[in-house]
Amino acid sequence: MRLRLFILALSLAAFTLHAQEGTPKNWFHLDAKEDGYPGMSTNKAYKELVKGKKGKTVIVAVIDSGVDIEHEDLKDVIWTNPGEIAGNGVDDDHNGYVDDIHGWNFIGGKDGRNVNYENLEVVRLYNMYKKKYEGKQRDKLSKKKRAEYDKYMEYKKVIEEKIEKMGPNAELYEQTFQAFDAIAKAIGKKPEDITKDDLAKFEPKEEAMQHIMGMITQYMGEGMSFGELYNEIKGAADYYVSQVKYNYNVDFDARDIVGDDINNKRERNYGNNNVEGPDASHGTHVSGIIGASRGNSIGMDGVANNIKIMSVRTVPNGDERDKDVANAIRYAVDNGASVINMSFGKGASPYKKVVDDAVKYAAKHDVLLVHAAGNDGKENFMDNNFPNDRYLRKGLFKPRYCPTWIEVGALAPSLGEDAPATFSNYSATYVDVFAPGVDIYSTIPDDKYASFQGTSMAAPAVAGVAALIRSQYPKLTAKQVKEILMKSVTPESGSFIVPGSKGEKKLPFNKLCVSGGRVNAYNALKLAAQTKGKKK
Domains of the chain, CATH where assigned: 59-116+266-469+493-517 (3.40.50.200), 131-247 (no CATH)
156 and 381 Cβ atoms separated by less than 8 Å: no
Neighbours of 129 (CB within 10 A): 19
In this prediction, residues 445-462 reach a mean pLDDT of 96
Question: What confidence tens digit (pLDDT) does each residue in 238-263 have?
Answer: 999 999 999 999 999 999 999 999 99
Question: What confidence tens digit (pLDDT) does each residue in 82-123 have?
Answer: 999 999 999 999 999 999 999 999 999 999 999 999 999 999
Separation of CA 423 from chain center: 13
Q: What is the distance between the alpha carbons of residues 341 and 463, in angstroms, rounded to a whole number?
A: 6
Helix, strand, or coil here: 93?
coil
In this prediction, residues 51-74 reach a mean pLDDT of 96
The pLDDT of residue 10 is 38
The pLDDT of residue 394 is 65
In this prediction, residues 67-82 reach a mean pLDDT of 98
Q: How far is CA 438 from CA 156, 284, 375, 413, 452, in A?
A: 34, 17, 11, 7, 7
Longest Cα–Cα distance in the chain: 74
Place 21 in a pLDDT band, splitting at 50, 70 and 90.
low
Q: How far is CA 451 from CA 67, 149, 282, 285, 286, in A?
A: 17, 44, 11, 9, 11
DSSP structure class, residue 186 = H
The pLDDT of residue 7 is 37
Q: Which residues have C-beta within 8 Å of that of residue 251, sequence separation ≥ 6?
A: none
276 CB burial (10 A radius; 0-12, 13-18, 19+): buried
Percent of all residues in the chain with a pLDDT value above 90, rounded to a whole number: 84
Q: What is the distance between the alpha carbons of residues 505 and 208, in angstroms, rounded to a whole number?
A: 42
11 pLDDT more than 50: no
Angle at which helix 143-187 crosses helix 207-221, to 10 degrees, equals 90
Place 399 in a pLDDT band, splitting at 50, 70 and 90.
low
The pLDDT of residue 217 is 83
Q: What is the distance between the alpha carbons of residues 75 and 63, in angstroms, rounded to a whole number?
A: 18
The pLDDT of residue 400 is 87
| Residue 265 phi, psi dihedral angles, 5° rounding | -75, -10
In this prediction, residues 315-335 reach a mean pLDDT of 98
Q: What is the distance between the alpha carbons of residues 123 and 516, in angstroms, rounded to a whole number?
A: 37
In this prediction, residues 169-189 reach a mean pLDDT of 91
CA angle 75–107–371, rounded 5-degree value: 70
The pLDDT of residue 536 is 80
Question: What confidence tens digit (pLDDT) does each residue in 262-309 have?
Answer: 999 999 999 999 999 999 999 999 999 999 999 999 999 999 999 999
19 pLDDT more than 80: no
Of 21-35, 294-308, 405-419, the least confident? 21-35
Question: What confidence tens digit (pLDDT) does each residue in 427-438 have?
Answer: 999 999 999 999
Place 462 in a pLDDT band, splitting at 50, 70 and 90.
very high
81 and 93 Cβ atoms separated by less than 8 Å: yes
Q: What is the distance between the alpha carbons of residues 292 and 284, in angstroms, rounded to a whole number?
A: 10
Q: Please tell me the number of Cα atoms within 13 Å of 298 on its side-chain side.
A: 12
Pairing of strands 103-105, 368-372: unpaired
Pick left, alpha or beta for residue 468 (phi over 0 → left; psi -120 to 50 → alpha; otherwise beta): alpha
Q: What is the distance between the alpha carbons of residues 484 and 482, in angstroms, rounded to a whole number?
A: 5
Place 398 in a pLDDT band, splitting at 50, 70 and 90.
low
b/e string for 226-260 if b means 16 or more Cβ within 10 A? bbbbbbbbbbbbbbbbbbbebbbbbeeebeebbeb
Provide the mean pLDDT of the chain.
93
Taken in order 301, 302, 308, 314, the sign of the CA dihedral is negative
340 and 367 Cβ atoms separated by less than 8 Å: yes
Nearest to 455 by CA among 360, 363, 376, 368: 376
| Cα radius of gyration rounded to whole Å, the chain | 24
354 and 387 Cβ atoms separated by less than 8 Å: no
Separation of CA 460 from chain center: 9
DSSP structure class, residue 506 = E
